[in-house]
Amino acid sequence: MQNMNWNYPTTIWFGLDRSKEIQLACDSLGMKNPLIVTDPGLLKTNIIETINSSLHSKTNIFSDVQGNPTGKNVDDGVKIFNQNNHDGVIAVGGGSGMDVGKGIAFLAEQTRSLWDFEDIGDWWTRADSSKIKPIIAIPTTAGTGSEVGRASVFLNEETQKKKIIFHPKMLPQISILDPNLTLNLPQSITAGTGMDALAHCLEAYSSPFYHPMAEGTALEGLRLVKENLLEVFHNGSNVEARSHMLVASMMGAAAFQKGLGAIHSITHPVNSIYHTHHGTTNGVVMPFVLHFNKSKIEDKIIRLSKFLDIPGGFDGILNWIISLKKEMQIPLTLKDMGVNEGDEIKLAPLAQEDPSTGGNPEEMTEDKFKILIKDCINGTYS
């Protein structure tokens, strides 16, 4: 595939071995002493060493990052950043590594707590924009799309709630999409992150808000997922399919500025309490949420079925998602992930207050979430 440079929604360098151009990216941003931020699992591979060796001088690495990253992960990284006089961040990994990297660059010279910048109203204006450090993002999974996002999601360990931290300058200045970095992903991570990309595209497409550009992006992202996800699951060395999934992931994240919905509203508290994988959990609840929203989105999903050449209209798309789950060994229900019947009582209010809820096609209430989450636990369709 051709190497390409795009500018949507930020500067993107796409193509094989583009991660080896990291020094050029640093130079273009005036970054002389970057901090590499990643996760412990990725640190065990040769990816971080290869990126570090591509710099003029090797730099420090911060990898104290959890799968569902916490505010403490960011605070600890800020200490390392400031102690070593770093002037920017190279965030490498899946959503956790990139989110923490973005959080460190954002918070390094702010005087307020991380939670003072939650995505509520105009809280982002509390930040001193001039002190936010430059960010280069290098995704190694095809799921979250954090490399093109203006926000990060962190677990507040005191409240056990996931919070979205937002600022326009949290958008990385350069994102490097190198499909080679995704070739060795385990099947389970390929499946979970792929379902995350699918969830972003599907919820953005289904959101009732008016944003034709984002809707079109989501639609093409859905096509790329449909045509490539099972291929990368079964044949992870197919670099062309890996390339398409990496782009689909980026497109899903660019599209969800149009809105997300109840898939993410349920997944966020489940992740926080049961420590489940984010994308895999999205995959578990996806068909139940899609069915719950049917009365509001049926016409739109019928159009989607025609575009994706999936016969059967709404039911065809629903059955396609169910078959994807089965073939990629995604758990059928939340019960299979350790969520018990009755837990919907504590999960429903957390889902209702999640910022994603406002983008759901069906207007939600706590009582509706109780019904929907119970369906996700038991595998029923109300």
In whole angstroms, what is the distance from residue 375 CA to residue 382 CA?
7
pTM, two decimals, is 0.95
The pLDDT of residue 382:
87
139, 98 Cβ separation under 8 angstroms: yes
Question: In a 10 Å sphere around its CB, with 0-12 CB exposed, 13-18 middle and 19+ buried, how is residue 31 labelled?
Answer: buried
Give me 197's structure tokens: 């990309």
Could you tell me the sign of the dihedral formed by the alpha carbons of 240, 244, 250, 253, in that order?
negative
Instruction: Using 70 as the pLDDT threshold, list the residues of the chain that sit under it.
Output: none
CB 314 within 8 A of CB 321: no
| SS (HEC) of 151-180 | EEEEEECCCCEEEEEECHHHCCCEEEECHH
The domains found in the chain, sorted by start residue, are 4-181 (3.40.50.1970), 186-378 (1.20.1090.10)
Q: 266 forms bridges with which residues in the sheet?
A: none
Instruction: State how far the Cα of 233 lies from the Cα of 186, in Å rounded to an integer.
Output: 9
Q: Is the dihedral of CA 372, 375, 381, 382 positive or negative?
A: negative
* Residue 1: per-residue pLDDT: 78
- For 82, residues 6+ apart whose C-beta sits below 8 A from its C-beta are 108, 109
Q: What Cα–Cα distance (Å) separates residue 162 from each residue in 37, 70, 83, 356?
A: 21, 9, 28, 12
Pairing type for strands 61-62 and 151-156 reads unpaired
CA pair distance 315, 75, nearest whole angstrom:
46
Give the type of residue at 228. N
Rounded CA separation 26/19 (Å) = 12
Spell out the residues 6+ positions from residue 335 whose beta carbon is closer than 8 angstroms to its own.
341, 377, 378, 379
Q: What is the pLDDT of residue 160?
A: 86
Q: What is the C-alpha separation between 197 and 241, in angstroms, rounded?
A: 14
Return the pLDDT at 255. Answer: 97
